[in-house]
Structure 1
Amino acid sequence: MPGLINRANARRPQSRGWAVGKRLATIGLAALLCAAGPGFPPLQPKPALAQSRPLSLIRDAEIEATIRHYADPLFRAAGLDPNGIRVLLVNDDSINAFVAGGMRLFINTGLLIQSDSPNQVKGVIAHETGHIAGAHLSRLQDELKNATIEQIIGMVLGAGAAVASGNGGAVVAGATLGTEIAKRNLLKYSRTQESAADQAGMGFLDATHQSSRGMLEFFQKLEGQEFLLGQNQDPYLLTHPLTTDRIDSVQQHVDNSPYSDAKDPHEDMAMQERMVAKLKGYIWPLTRVEQTYPASDKSVGARYARAIAYYRVSRAPEALQLMDSLLAEAPDDPFFLEQKAQILFENGKLAEALPLYTAAYNQRPNEPLLGLELAQAEIELEQPELTKLAIKHLEGVTTIEPRNARAWYFLSVAYGRDGNLPMSALAQAEQAMAQGNSQEAWAQAKRALEGMPAGSPGWLKANDIITEAQQIKENN
């Protein structure tokens, strides 16, 4: 998935000095981890389990915003703080979603692409929210006795940290442990928990005046796979036992709920179309994109998918022409602006990309990925006034995502170019801490202290990092 997953396969030019690492940036994880979570000793590889695909996570501002638009009302209906729940996208073409680490919701790209409506995605999210609200995974973990399974728990927690930090290497060991164990043991809920999550999820949908029909449709989509061999089933069935009784229960709710005929808002339908088109544009080969979205298809989704697919194979003029057609219809759309900016940026047209990144950021200043992209462009242009702006934007990003190692890296660069070496060292300390390198964090924080006034905010933060790093060392 160039730009979305395996960037090594993308035939795109690199920007000066570094790869952008933005759009749908991927953290590929080998599944056998070394210290992925606190307190977990390294495991020895088990050869019989070393054939499954590794887990990889992706990030994209627009897709994340779409999922949050669907999910946050359901989280609030469950009495949960949306800001306390991480939503992570898994690059996998199978249908699956699961909860791990208590407050982390993982959704496969395959589920999003194969969904027929926003309501189906919302139904899955509502069900998974039922697991979160019911603390089902915590109860499952309490019962686990096998150290291997505990290590996989650390893998999932580490995956969440890695996608935020931008550094999969912090959690990757040299061998691969198949994810089949995680599918079958770690994340497998009991039938009682599944029914409880269904009931809770339908309650959350009712509370937000949304239909549960999408949940029913999703279960019916999977029902035909119940009799397939395990390796041919979508992993959702391996982790979420599906029974006729459960389907009948959801059907009964749909038959009686006053909201069963509620339709997805037009805004949600448009967001869904764009999300699916973007994923296909990044994931699928160009020939498949062109077959699905032929040139005769002038819909927004079709043009978006083709623009991204052309950009991936270095056909920038065609990609830009399509993006211009989209922007002619929606000139202030932040994600169209962002996409065109990225095409220009990664083709060396930094000065042309900057105003587009700026316009996108001004539309959505609380989207950390937009702030990070804008700051990268500002730094690359190597102008003192833009460097100061980059510092401001990156400080905003790190406030929202304090463990985003990539943001801390660029902030250290910006501070260094601005002549503030102590703050550059402090940013490097934060970067190291986000990457799980407490020894490097300690050393950089010590460097930062040497040039900071005692009692200043930076001085206090450097001391906090030193204390945290020392505690990690002592606990290990």
Structure 2
Amino acid sequence: MHFRTAGKKASAFFLAALLAFSSGIQPALAAGISLVRDAETENMIREFSTPIWRAAGLLPSSVRVYLVQDNRINAFVTAGQRMFLNTGLITQADTPLEVIGVIAHETGHMAGGHLVRGQEAMSKMSLPMIASMVLGIGAMAAGAGDAGMAIIAGGSHIAQRSVLAYSRQQEGAADQAGATYLQRAGMSGKGMLDLFSKFRDQEALSTTQQDPFIQSHPISEDRLASLEERVNASPYFDQTDTPERIHQFKMVQAKLFGFVDEPSVTMRRFPQSDQSDYARYARAIAYHKLGQNEQSLAEIDALLKKEADNPYVWELKGQVLFESGRAAEAVGPYHRALSLKQGEPQLQLGLAQALLAIENSGLGGSGAAAGTPIASAAAPLSPSISDKPQLLAKLDQTEIARIALGYLQTSSKTDPENPTTFFQLAIAHGRLNNIGMAELSTAEYYEAIGAMRDARGHAATAQRHFKEGSPEWLRAQDIMQEEG
């Protein structure tokens, strides 16, 4: 999946940086998995999942959800309360309840402590181990700057085909547990039953034609019968998806189709005769991938007439403008998106990236003098400025960097596992002549992607700029002493 479209100076810079950072690990890449970052999809999944996790006695803030870029239906969990869902599960499901059913089933595996069989390393997997095989880091892979959709490619040691091989006993237990959690949460298990019934029909197919889920989650007639009995007995069996949930789900499906499929496929799936919100959303992305950004923006603006309060449509507009080299114009849409979804770390990151990419009259101007650290961040961007590219272009580069730094620092606290945030923090600190913090952020970036040799080198350089025993000095020390 390749999201990079037309780009100018900023895009060229980030692409060069991406290639430089990934060149040392590309030989290790093989048939691995690709992780996709998207705030809209992730938030939808968390909305679906939170009642289930609570019903299972799990702390929602402790569960990590990862989207796997794969058109086939699959889902799996690993130790450390990490749940992986294929994009194909979302795009091929007929209803939100079907996805919710799979989430409940996987929660049953998670709460039951079912471990990965024959893959002991996976039971100890941490995010840096996943990210150590990074090919595309966050927003850079999505067009050198987008913080919405982004790919992180994993190595062969976590290839999906060998991730899970649950026993039939574990499968039945996960079914029953999932159905229990759904009932406790006041939700129907019909979606789980419907989807698993479809999988039963796949058992007659060759393994090359089956979805991975059926291979790692064997479905027997007895298992399906037991699940049907349990689900039908629930007082919530007849509960259906609300119109609002269905609309949310179809918008996410359209976005995934737009980003995952080739533009020609998207255009066939959503022809111009289709003027629905979903079709416009998908076509806007397809046009952008083709570099036809005016057509893309026209679709987005038409969509915004009906979806004016949808932060993710504003985010997409910011992405299209940013990736077409119009960073100052992208700030307003990103700012609007963040005002509608306050505190969303990926939107904060997107806004900060757009700010840092602005070419303005302050470049090379009244920045900090050499050796003068500027540690503080500026107040958030004013709405009176964010929508006026001509005013943004007049801001001093130092002021822009300080504003961006504030958003990035907040984003990193909420989403500390995003390597792109550290990459952008390094840029912001560098602009402000905070050499120690720029080096420390670079070290944290390398640590996040598992390149520990580079991480330790930058941490050692950073440490020389801090007072011994200070929090920054100690953080650098931790990185230097980390194994790997």
Which range, TM-score by smaller chain? 0.7 to 0.9
Instruction: Identify the match of residue 262 of structure 1 among 224, 227, 239.
Output: 239
Kindly indicate whether the alpha-carbon contact (under 8 Å) linking 1:445 and 1:463 is maintained by their aligned counterparts in 2.
no
Q: Are residue 354 (structure 1) and residue 331 (structure 2) matched? A: yes
Q: Are residue 463 (structure 1) and residue 474 (structure 2) matched? A: yes
Deviation at 1:445? Answer: 2.9
- Equivalences for residues 265-284 of structure 1 within 5 A: 265-284=242-261
Bigger shift: 426-435 or 253-262?
A: 426-435
SS of 1:106's equivalent in the other structure is strand
Deviation at 1:18? Answer: 3.2
Alpha-carbon separation, structure 2, partners of 1:386 and 1:303: 33
Tell me which residue corresponds to 1:412.
426
Q: Deviation string for 1:226-255 (max 9, x for gaps)?
A: 122222211111110101112112221232
Deviation at 1:440? Answer: 3.2
Kindly indicate whether the alpha-carbon contact (under 8 Å) linking 1:449 and 1:462 is maintained by their aligned counterparts in 2.
yes
Kindly indicate whether the alpha-carbon contact (under 8 Å) linking 1:165 and 1:406 is maintained by their aligned counterparts in 2.
no
Tell me which residue corresponds to 1:438.
452
Deviation at 1:14? Answer: 4.4
Tell me which residue corresponds to 1:12.
6
Deviation at 1:109? Answer: 1.2
- Equivalences for residues 149-228 of structure 1 within 5 A: 149-151=119-121, 158-159=129-130, 166=137, 179=159, 182=162, 186-228=163-205
Tell me which residue corresponds to 1:66.
44
AA at the equivalent of 1:465: A
Tell me which residue corresponds to 1:2.
2
Q: Deviation string for 1:121-142 (max 9, x for gaps)?
A: 00000000000000111xx55x
Deviation at 1:153? Answer: 5.8
AA at the equivalent of 1:2: H
Instruction: Identify the match of residue 336 of structure 1 among 313, 316, 329.
Output: 313
Deviation at 1:371? Answer: 1.1
Residues 444 and 305 of structure 1: is their aligned pair in 2 closer, same or farther, counting only changes over 3 Å? same
Q: Are residue 298 (structure 1) and residue 275 (structure 2) matched? A: yes
SS of 1:329's equivalent in the other structure is coil
Residues 451 and 165 of structure 1: is their aligned pair in 2 closer, same or farther, counting only changes over 3 Å? farther
Residues 91 and 306 of structure 1: is their aligned pair in 2 closer, same or farther, counting only changes over 3 Å? same
Residues 15 and 105 of structure 1: is their aligned pair in 2 closer, same or farther, counting only changes over 3 Å? farther
Residues 392 and 164 of structure 1: is their aligned pair in 2 closer, same or farther, counting only changes over 3 Å? farther
Q: Are residue 117 (structure 1) and residue 95 (structure 2) matched? A: yes
Residues 15 and 370 of structure 1: is their aligned pair in 2 closer, same or farther, counting only changes over 3 Å? farther
SS of 2:65's equivalent in the other structure is strand
Alpha-carbon separation, structure 1, partners of 2:412 and 2:337: 19
Deviation at 1:410? Answer: 1.1
Instruction: Identify the match of residue 130 of structure 1 among 108, 111, 115.
Output: 108
Q: Deviation string for 1:261-284 (max 9, x for gaps)?
A: 111122211111001101111122
Tell me which residue corresponds to 1:46.
none
Bigger shift: 351-360 or 459-468?
A: 459-468
Alpha-carbon separation, structure 2, partners of 1:178 and 1:31: 15
Alpha-carbon separation, structure 2, partners of 1:295 and 1:171: 33
Bigger shift: 329-338 or 428-437?
A: 428-437
Q: TM-score, normalised by structure 2?
A: 0.81
Deviation at 1:442? Answer: 3.2
Residues 154 and 231 of structure 1: is their aligned pair in 2 closer, same or farther, counting only changes over 3 Å? farther
Kindly indicate whether the alpha-carbon contact (under 8 Å) linking 1:344 and 1:352 is maintained by their aligned counterparts in 2.
yes
AA at the equivalent of 1:335: Y
Q: TM-score, normalised by structure 1?
A: 0.82
Q: Are residue 90 (structure 1) and residue 68 (structure 2) matched? A: yes
Residues 163 and 387 of structure 1: is their aligned pair in 2 closer, same or farther, counting only changes over 3 Å? same
Kindly indicate whether the alpha-carbon contact (under 8 Å) linking 1:165 and 1:404 is maintained by their aligned counterparts in 2.
no
Residues 31 and 249 of structure 1: is their aligned pair in 2 closer, same or farther, counting only changes over 3 Å? farther
Deviation at 1:225? Answer: 0.8
Bigger shift: 356-365 or 12-21?
A: 12-21
Tell me which residue corresponds to 2:284.
307
Structure 2 segments unaligned to the other structure (5+ residues): 17-21, 142-150, 360-396
AA at the equivalent of 1:374: L
- Equivalences for residues 246-261 of structure 1 within 5 A: 246-261=223-238
Deviation at 1:154? Answer: 6.8
Q: Deviation string for 1:23-49 (max 9, x for gaps)?
A: xxxx99x99969xxxxxxxxxxxxxxx
Residues 171 and 178 of structure 1: is their aligned pair in 2 closer, same or farther, counting only changes over 3 Å? closer
Alpha-carbon separation, structure 2, partners of 1:332 and 1:258: 35
Tell me which residue corresponds to 2:363.
none
SS of 1:332's equivalent in the other structure is coil
Bigger shift: 149-158 or 219-228?
A: 149-158
Kindly indicate whether the alpha-carbon contact (under 8 Å) linking 2:32 and 2:154 is maintained by their aligned counterparts in 1.
no
Kindly indicate whether the alpha-carbon contact (under 8 Å) linking 1:425 and 1:444 is maintained by their aligned counterparts in 2.
yes
Alpha-carbon separation, structure 1, partners of 2:428 and 2:82: 32
Structure 1 segments unaligned to the other structure (5+ residues): 22-26, 35-49
Alpha-carbon separation, structure 2, partners of 1:223 and 1:436: 40
AA at the equivalent of 1:325: A
AA at the equivalent of 2:137: G
Alpha-carbon separation, structure 2, partners of 1:369 and 1:54: 25
Tell me which residue corresponds to 1:428.
442
Q: Deviation string for 1:56-102 (max 9, x for gaps)?
A: 11111111111111112211111111121111111111111111234
SS of 1:297's equivalent in the other structure is coil
AA at the equivalent of 1:63: T
SS of 1:206's equivalent in the other structure is helix
Kindly indicate whether the alpha-carbon contact (under 8 Å) linking 1:341 and 1:357 is maintained by their aligned counterparts in 2.
yes
AA at the equivalent of 1:18: F
What percent identity do the matched residue pairs reach?
37
Kindly indicate whether the alpha-carbon contact (under 8 Å) linking 1:15 and 1:348 is maintained by their aligned counterparts in 2.
yes
SS of 2:272's equivalent in the other structure is coil
Bigger shift: 427-436 or 125-134?
A: 427-436
Kindly indicate whether the alpha-carbon contact (under 8 Å) linking 2:132 and 2:450 is maintained by their aligned counterparts in 1.
no
Kindly indicate whether the alpha-carbon contact (under 8 Å) linking 1:31 and 1:179 is maintained by their aligned counterparts in 2.
no
Deviation at 1:156? Answer: 8.4
Q: Deviation string for 1:301-327 (max 9, x for gaps)?
A: 111111111111011111111100111
Residues 252 and 107 of structure 1: is their aligned pair in 2 closer, same or farther, counting only changes over 3 Å? same
Residues 125 and 161 of structure 1: is their aligned pair in 2 closer, same or farther, counting only changes over 3 Å? farther
Alpha-carbon separation, structure 1, partners of 2:293 and 2:57: 46
Residues 152 and 164 of structure 1: is their aligned pair in 2 closer, same or farther, counting only changes over 3 Å? same
Tell me which residue corresponds to 1:37.
none
SS of 2:188's equivalent in the other structure is coil
Deviation at 1:159? Answer: 2.6
Residues 170 and 389 of structure 1: is their aligned pair in 2 closer, same or farther, counting only changes over 3 Å? same
